């Protein structure tokens, strides 16, 4: 139920910040982030670095919910609120998202037991994943807008 609650919170945040106005422009980047998430499960299936924990619904359903709903919702929220001002402000925005996502993951791991780490993975490594996820999704969006598709 914790994973469903998290997705509902992300959905409410997207409604609050009216990100649906920018949904069409973000679709290619949302698909990109979802595919990268799917590739993790394909390429690392025998040696996962992290895994969701659940007691009330199946692990397969949690993976599907997080991959196809949770991650796109958080990426939609990030992409829709990127400031249009200076590069410095955009950098601060990116940094704040990386730090806040890392803190949320720490709570998900330590306090809520929603995720477990394996094979040497820890929250410090997640900083790099979040940095890449947000930065690459932003760059992906920019390239698609520049190319016009």
Q: So what's the pLDDT on residue 138?
A: 96
pLDDT value at residue 148? 67
pTM: 0.92
Question: Using an 8 Å Cβ cutoff, are 14 and 20 in contact?
Answer: yes
Instruction: Give residue 58's region: left, alpha or beta (phi > 0; psi -120 to 50).
Output: beta
- pLDDT above 70: percentage of residues in the chain: 99
Could you tell me if 141 and 23 are in contact, meaning their C-beta atoms sit under 8 angstroms apart? no
* pLDDT > 90 fraction of the chain, expressed in percent and rounded: 91
pLDDT digits (tens, 9 = 90+) for 96-118: 999 999 999 999 999 999 999 99
């Amino acid at each position: 139920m914790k994973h469903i609650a998290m997705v509902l919170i992300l959905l409410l945040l997207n409604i609050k910040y009216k990100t649906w106005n920018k949904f069409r422009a973000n679709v290619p980047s949302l698909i990109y982030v979802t595919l990268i998430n799917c590739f993790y499960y394909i390429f690392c299936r025998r040696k996962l670095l992290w895994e969701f924990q659940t007691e009330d619904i199946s692990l397969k359903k949690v993976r599907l919910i997080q991959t196809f709903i949770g991650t796109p919702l958080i990426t939609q929220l990030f992409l829709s609120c990127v400031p249009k001002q200076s590069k410095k402000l955009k950098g601060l925005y990116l940094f704040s998202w990386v730090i806040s996502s890392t803190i949320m993951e720490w709570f998900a791991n330590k306090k809520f037991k929603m995720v477990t780490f394996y094979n040497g993975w820890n929250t410090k490594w997640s900083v790099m994943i979040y940095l890449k996820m947000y930065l690459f999704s932003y760059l992906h969006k920019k390239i698609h807008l520049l190319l016009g598709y």
